[in-house]
Amino acid sequence: MPDTNTRSLAEALADRPGGEILERRQQEMLKASALLKAGALQTAILTSANFSIIATDENGIIQLFNVGAERMLGYTAAEVVNRINPSDIHDPDEVMARAKSLSLELGTTIAPGFEALAFKASREIEDIYELTYIRKDGSRFPAIVSITALRDDCGDLVGYLLIGTDNSVRKRVESELKQAMETAENANRAKTDFLSGMSHELRTPLNAILGFAQVLQSGSPMPTPSQKRSIDQILKAGWYLLELINEILDLALIESGRLTLSLEPVSLVEVMLECRAMIEPQAKLRGIVMSFAQFEIPCFVTADRTRLKQVLINLLFNAIKYNRPGGAVAVECTASASQAMRISIRDTGEGLAADQLAQLFQPFNRLGKEASAEEGTGIGLVVSKRLMDLMEGNIGADSIVGTGSVFWIELALATSPLLALSETERSTAACALTEVNGNRDLILHVEDNPANLELVEQLVARRPDLRLLSAANGNLGVEFARAHQPRVIVMDINLPGISGIEAMRILRADPSTAAIPIIALSANAMPRDIKRGLEAGFFNYLTKPLKVGDFLHALDSALAFSTAECAKAKHAI
């Protein structure tokens, strides 16, 4: 006989008289216990006050309305069961909008009253969406509701189940977050507007200071040695102040998230040539030998052309400024296996210690050079790093004390862009740039600031091929342009009456003045100001303080363009 100690209780009972009856009773007790547990769970769910449970029949009439639904909506179950459908306690505008959307999707008309639920249930798709519930007292609150079709064993539709939760807290948090974001956005906009206005206010007096200092520097008769030293000091301090203003405004603009860049294939050959032209005079003054990388084939990187030049010029100026007398600066370019181009600027300066390298790219940190004879702001490298980040590139440095430093940037390589101009168009443009009319061409200058008017007057007076006409406001400028037909117009932006942009639009709309090139000359020097001006239709956009060379070059380009346009007009006739 088997050992009962190793057998189950049920087996032992079954071997005894009446064992089958005991086993059956035990199974019934287990089933009853399971049913009691299931019933307890069901009761707990139906009586939960934390979420609403609404069940309907196949026609959408409410059959079950739990305690949570009563608490959320303010109705008792007796008030809604067999009386209404869920659409009656939803926002009617939302119900109609949902019905229209579903009707368009179905390409048919859905029976009114239970449109959304009927459609979703008919496709046997469970749906979860946001809606607005309306309480018995008329108040409203947002909810998230899950809707499920209920079917019997045969698959026939018997009703719908809606389980909902109050979404008020989440909506309130979202609303507060949105308000905070709007507040921050408004603050950023106010900051940008302030920077733009501050830029204008600072640049306007600087334009007169630097402009007239340049006039005196190159005037006739030449200044005496004593006067020249004074002028040099004025120019040195003025350009340094302008650099400081530019870098602070650049940094503030970047950190406000308002700086926009145009990432496109940029020719490294062209950028290097332009940087070299700007840097070599400074290097020669200090006895620094410059060497630049040579490109056997064209090379392009993905960058914003203007900002790439800004970064390179900053690094090159630093390499010259902090070099030793008679030192050298070498610019090297190396392609990496990761399809990137590294541009390294190597100098023979004092070098940086490890702790100094760790402090690079910190605002206003000049790494102990504050007491040196070299002027600086401690912002240039910070701006350069921010710009490289925006151009999806990298920047870094390596250094050995007593040997020198290498500052480098990395940018993704790009394919050559398609040429926008045909050979004929490029040839025509080149001819136009070299053929400037030798007659006394009329330049119209629209400006309300007397100092700025006099500055441009003195610059134009040096050109025997040019004569100047001035207008003190936009309306007068438009009248003079129509009456005198100048070859080129130089236009300030902030003018009494109508702005320079509005005056330009009036001139562009008039066939008699539409082809006259208009150069903007303004203290509004933020990147968005320049972009807005060029998009509005200015031929060129110059900023104050005025650089004499840039101004004269812009005049020549505009005159060449005007000459070419006149030739086209005559040929057409």
Per-residue pLDDT of the chain (573 residues; tens, 9 = 90+): 445 454 554 455 455 555 566 666 666 666 656 655 656 666 666 777 778 889 898 888 999 999 889 999 999 999 999 988 888 888 888 877 776 766 666 555 554 544 444 444 444 456 787 889 999 999 999 998 888 888 888 888 888 888 888 888 888 888 888 888 888 777 766 766 676 666 667 777 787 788 888 888 877 788 888 888 888 888 877 877 777 777 777 777 777 676 777 788 888 888 888 888 878 888 888 899 999 988 777 788 999 888 898 899 889 988 998 899 899 999 999 988 778 999 999 999 988 888 888 888 776 565 555 445 555 556 888 888 989 999 999 999 999 998 999 999 999 998 876 433 333 333 333 333 333 334 588 999 998 887 788 888 888 888 888 999 998 888 889 989 988 899 999 999 888 878 899 899 999 888 889 889 999 998 887 778 888 888 888 999 998 888 888 899 999 999 988 888 777 766 655
Same domain, 406 and 452: no
**Distance separating alpha carbons of residues 343 and 410, to the nearest angstrom:** 6
CB contact set of 49 (below 8 Å; sequence gap of 6+): 67, 68, 71
Residue 255 lies in a domain: no
Q: CA 358, CA 380: separation in Å to the nearest integer?
A: 16
| 331 and 310 together in one domain | yes
CB 305 within 8 A of CB 272: no
**Pick from 356, 337, 341: which is nearest to 398 by CA?**
356
Q: What is the 3-state secondary structure (H, E, C) of 86-119?
A: HHHHECHHHHHHHHHHHHHHHCCCCCCCCHHHHH
pLDDT of 442 reads 92
Give pLDDT, residue 479. Answer: 87
Number of domain units in the chain? 4
Of 118, 49, 110, give the one whose Cα is nearest residue 86.
Answer: 118
Q: Is residue 525 part of a domain?
A: yes
Beta strand 488-491 with 441-446 is parallel
Contacts of 129 (CB under 8 A, 6+ apart): 144, 145, 147
Q: Are residues 22 and 125 in the same domain?
A: no
Whether residue 291 is found in the same domain as residue 397: yes
Distance, CA of 490 to CA of 484 (rounded, Å): 14
- CA 207 remoteness from chain centre: 30
What is d(CA 117, CA 439) in angstroms, rounded to the nearest whole number?
83
Tell whether 13 and 84 lie within a shared domain.
no
Q: What is the CATH number of the domain that holds 399?
A: 3.30.565.10
Tell me if 561 is assigned to some domain. Answer: yes
- Identify the domain boundary among 371, 394, 418: 418
Same domain, 413 and 455: no
Domain boundary (418, 434, 464) is at 418
CATH for 501: 3.40.50.2300
Residue 107, Ramachandran bin (φ over 0: left; ψ between -120 and 50: alpha; else beta) = left
Nearest alpha-carbon partner for 9 in 432, 22, 17 = 22
Are 351 and 432 within one domain?
no
Domain identity same for 75 and 15 = no
The H or E element that residue 297 is part of is none
Q: Answer whether residue 283 is part of any domain.
A: yes
Residue numbers of the domain that contains 370: 262-418
H helix or E strand, kind and range, residue 224: none
The residue from 131, 151, 166 where one domain ends is 166
Domain contains 309 = yes
pLDDT at site 272 = 87
**Are residue 457 and residue 406 in the same domain, yes or no?**
no
**Structural domain contains residue 196:** no
Does residue 252 sit within a domain?
no
The enclosing domain of 151 has a CATH number of 3.30.450.20
Residues 384 and 431 occupy one common structural domain: no
437 in the same domain as 412 = no
**Are 429 and 566 within one domain?**
yes
Quote the tokens at residue 189. 């906009």
Q: Is residue 535 part of a domain?
A: yes
